[in-house]
Amino acid sequence: MKHYNLGFLGFGNVGRALARLLVAKSTELRERYEIEWSITGVATRGMGWRARREGFQASSLLGNSVDASSRPALSTGINEWLRGARPDVVFETTSLNHETGQPAIDYLTAVLKFGSHAITANKGAVVYGYDELSKLASAAGKSFFFESTVLDSAPVFSLFRETLPAVKLRAFSGIFNSTSNVIIETMEAGRSFDEGVKMAQELGITETDPAHDVDGWDATVKVCALAKVLMRLPLKPSDVRREGIRSLGTQKLQAARIDGKPYKLVARATLSDNGSSLNASVKPEQLASTDPLGNVRGTSLAVHFELDMMPGLTITSHRPSLHSTAYGLLADFINAASG
Ligand SMILES: NC(=O)c1ccc[n+]([C@@H]2O[C@H](COP(=O)([O-])OP(=O)(O)OC[C@H]3O[C@@H](n4cnc5c(N)ncnc54)[C@H](OP(=O)(O)O)[C@@H]3O)[C@@H](O)[C@H]2O)c1
């Protein structure tokens, strides 16, 4: 049996869902994987940097009351927090910064330098920090995993890493932003854009700032993360032609749905003929039901890959929830622990 100290950097929708999942799966983790765990560090902007070597009660953290016996928040930031919490694994789930990936990259750098596994749901860190963080992880003999960053829990990065050696990815398309899908479908049903945003927020699926979803940033950053990791091409969000869903009115959406070609926010990236660059876009498109992405509804997400060895490989995650996103982080944890 191995005991893991866990650190949570960010404790919002995703961090909390992961804490609940760890509690729900603790017997399975112990009996099947010989993993025991305790949460020894939690940090958010509101809560500050909290560390407790003997572990926090997950129920107190989830109930918003850090135990009375916990020490006051530390003041000097991540390095002191790491020394206090001594985590074996840190789950980084702070808000997306689509322009720089910070401060998540600095946090993950400190985590790997400290000697912990670094697991993130934050795609900004992958787009802007993948090379550096991967090098640090490999030098430290630790894992830098990020399965939840695209398509929540559905295997994308681990699928390529573990099961698709020597393939060349030529193009991909996807429906990567469930908030936009939920808003579009709410408007097709005759309700307003704002009601759609509210519905997505109630599901806990929006970015901290929902403008990142509706203006296409979330999907754009996911395109860049896939390009960087699966195609080894450094695509930046500003390289992607981006158009969000704000200009789609209710009547236009309803007419398209009646026509059998509803609008979706579609992300695309295609390799140039010489393979050195990508043509990438995120924009509303009308899709027929015969399109591999045509039947992706509600909170569902999908990606369609075009590979030299397979003309089409589509992965659809039907109605994933926060629970699913948390599962991506849990799967990364088990994979990191298994070496
Ligand atoms: N929600 C989803 O369905 C989903 C799915 C896949 C990936 N993700 C990614 O997962 C991450 C978290 O999403 P979420 O829905 O959990 O967001 P959230 O509910 O807004 O939570 C973000 C958490 O990070 C903390 N935080 C933000 N900036 C910080 C900073 N500079 N230093 C320390 N803590 C900071 C926040 O603390 P305060 O509340 O105190 O500010 C909060 O605890 C994002 O990167 C998102 O892109 C989300």
Q: Determine if the peptide bond prior to 284 is cis (ω within 30°).
A: no
Rounded to whole angstroms, how far apart are CA atoms 233 and 77?
33
- CB 96 near ligand 1, within 6 Å: yes
Checking DSSP bridges between strand 144-145 and strand 117-120, what pairing results, if any? parallel
How does pLDDT run across 201-242, given as a tens digit for each residue? 999 889 889 999 999 999 999 999 999 999 999 999 999 999
Checking DSSP bridges between strand 2-9 and strand 278-286, what pairing results, if any? unpaired
β partners of residue 88: none
- CB 116 near ligand 1, within 6 Å: no
Q: Determine if the peptide bond prior to 165 is cis (ω within 30°).
A: no
Q: What is the pLDDT of residue 207?
A: 86
How is residue 43 written in tokens? 């940090």
Checking DSSP bridges between strand 241-242 and strand 278-286, what pairing results, if any? parallel
**CATH code, residues 2-153+323-337:** 3.40.50.720
Q: How far, in Å, is the centroid of ligand 1 from the Cα of 93? A: 5
Kindly give the residue spans of alpha helices, DSSP state H, lying in 34-177. 58-62, 78-85, 104-114, 123-140, 157-163
Q: How far is CA 216 from CA 104, 137, 223, 310, in A?
A: 21, 31, 11, 29
- CB 266 near ligand 1, within 6 Å: no
Nearest CA to ligand 1 atom 3: 205
Nearest C-alpha neighbor of 145 from the set 86, 92, 223, 205 = 92
Q: Which of the four pLDDT bands, split at 50, 70 and 90, describes residue 68?
A: very low
Does the pLDDT at position 67 exceed 70?
no
Rounded to whole angstroms, how far apart are CA atoms 284 and 282?
7
Q: What is the pLDDT of residue 204?
A: 87
Nearest CA to ligand 1 atom 11: 93
Single pTM value for the model: 0.94
Q: How far is CA 42 from CA 74, 155, 216, in A?
A: 11, 27, 30
Q: Which of the four pLDDT bands, split at 50, 70 and 90, describes residue 73?
A: low
Rounded to whole angstroms, how far apart are CA atoms 257 and 180?
15
* In contact, 13 and 98? CB cutoff 8 Å: no
Average pLDDT over residues 26-30: 98
Q: Which of the four pLDDT bands, split at 50, 70 and 90, describes residue 49?
A: very high
Does the pLDDT at position 64 exceed 80?
no
Average pLDDT over residues 312-327: 94
Q: How far, in Å, is the centroid of ligand 1 from the Cα of 101? A: 13
Rounded to whole angstroms, how far apart are CA atoms 93 and 104?
8
* In contact, 146 and 119? CB cutoff 8 Å: yes
Mean pLDDT of the chain: 94
Does the pLDDT at position 69 exceed 50?
no
Contacting residues for 4 by C-beta, under 8 A, at least 6 apart: 35, 36, 37, 38, 88, 89, 333, 337
Nearest C-alpha neighbor of 187 from the set 174, 176, 198, 175 = 198
Q: Which of 16, 47, 76, 94 to mutate to test the pocket of ligand 1 (most atoms within 8 A of CB)?
A: 94
Rounded to whole angstroms, how far apart are CA atoms 290 and 304?
13
Average pLDDT over residues 33-43: 97
Nearest C-alpha neighbor of 249 from the set 320, 174, 183 = 183
Q: Is 48 exposed, middle or buried (0-12, 13-18, 19+ CB in 10 A)?
A: middle
Average pLDDT over residues 141-154: 95
Contacting residues for 213 by C-beta, under 8 A, at least 6 apart: 177, 179, 180, 200, 206, 207
Q: What is the pLDDT of residue 275?
A: 87
Does the pLDDT at position 38 exceed 70?
yes
Domain positions in the chain are 2-153+323-337, 161-319
- CB 13 near ligand 1, within 6 Å: yes
Q: Which of the four pLDDT bands, split at 50, 70 and 90, describes residue 150?
A: very high
- CB 46 near ligand 1, within 6 Å: yes
Which residue carries 């939920």 as its tokens? 182
Q: Which of 16, 42, 44, 61 to mutate to test the pocket of ligand 1 (most atoms within 8 A of CB)?
A: 44
Residue, of 91 and 273, whose pLDDT is higher:
91
With a pLDDT cut of 90, the percent of the chain lying above it is 89
Q: Which atom of ligand 1 is nearest to the CA of 152?
A: 6
Q: How far, in Å, is the centroid of ligand 1 from the Cα of 13? A: 7
Q: How far, in Å, is the centroid of ligand 1 from the Cα of 98? A: 13
Does the pLDDT at position 183 exceed 60?
yes
Nearest C-alpha neighbor of 206 from the set 178, 237, 234 = 178
Domain 161-319 CATH assignment equals 3.30.360.10 = yes
- CB 12 near ligand 1, within 6 Å: yes
Q: How far, in Å, is the centroid of ligand 1 from the Cα of 209? A: 10
Which residue carries 């193009």 as its tokens? 171
Does the pLDDT at position 70 exceed 60?
no
| DSSP designation for 116 | -
For the chain, count helices (H), then strands (E): 13, 12
Nearest CA to ligand 1 atom 15: 13
- CB 43 near ligand 1, within 6 Å: yes
Q: How far, in Å, is the centroid of ligand 1 from the Cα of 158? A: 23
CA 30 distance to own-chain centroid: 26
Q: Which atom of ligand 1 is nearest to the CA of 328?
A: 6
